[in-house]
Structure 1
């Protein structure tokens, strides 16, 4: 079966629900009730396209620390956040989100180094 351009492009429009555990969202918070069921804490991500990734690399040419922040800003569908808001996320959450963005975007071969 031959693929059409639409078949190849469909993956870029899919969104993924990613559950964030309370321990990732609030690291070091030992006051969360262990036995009580916690509601799913979900964000919605979309894969990065090559066009978006090229823009990120160009924008971060002089400051590579912007790469993970721009990746999160561009991938995060719900809740949408500004770059200034993304800059305020704690490092553990940034690493968690980047791992998922890399996975859904097919960036599993070469690691992009987080520069903090």
Structure 2
């Protein structure tokens, strides 16, 4: 039997993943856009997720916005910029962040 090392358990915390954002998510109704564009995401660690929950203690609507801000590697956005994103794009990013982070069981925020 082979046991995992601490390095094995921590591997992937710094991994990044390229995600293609489909044209209909970026610009709904824009028929001129044939290809999507890419963003780079990293999974949330338990430490980051705890900080997000703590920061959003008084306003749970900040949770998905902070999740996007902390997970988005490229391009980087400030919280104020994340607040300006279209709701459909935030929903798309959150679905990918949850999947990458292993948050498969959905909780209502």
TM-score normalised over the length of structure 2:
0.93
Distance in 1 of aligned mates of 2:91 and 2:42: 16
Corresponding position of 1:83:
79
Structure 1, unpaired ranges of 5+: none
TM-score normalised over the length of structure 1:
0.88
SS at the partner of 1:43?
A: strand
2:60 aligned to 61, 64, 76, which one?
64
Deviation above 4 Å: which 4+ runs of structure 1? none
Q: Per-residue deviation at 1:40?
A: 4.4
Structure 2, unpaired ranges of 5+: none
1:24-35 paired onto structure 2 within 5 Å: 24-29=25-30, 31-32=31-32
The alignment's C-alpha RMSD in Å is 1.3
1:31-110 paired onto structure 2 within 5 Å: 31-32=31-32, 38-109=34-105
Aligned length: 108
Highest RCO, 1 vs 2 (Cα 8 Å, sep ≥ 6):
1
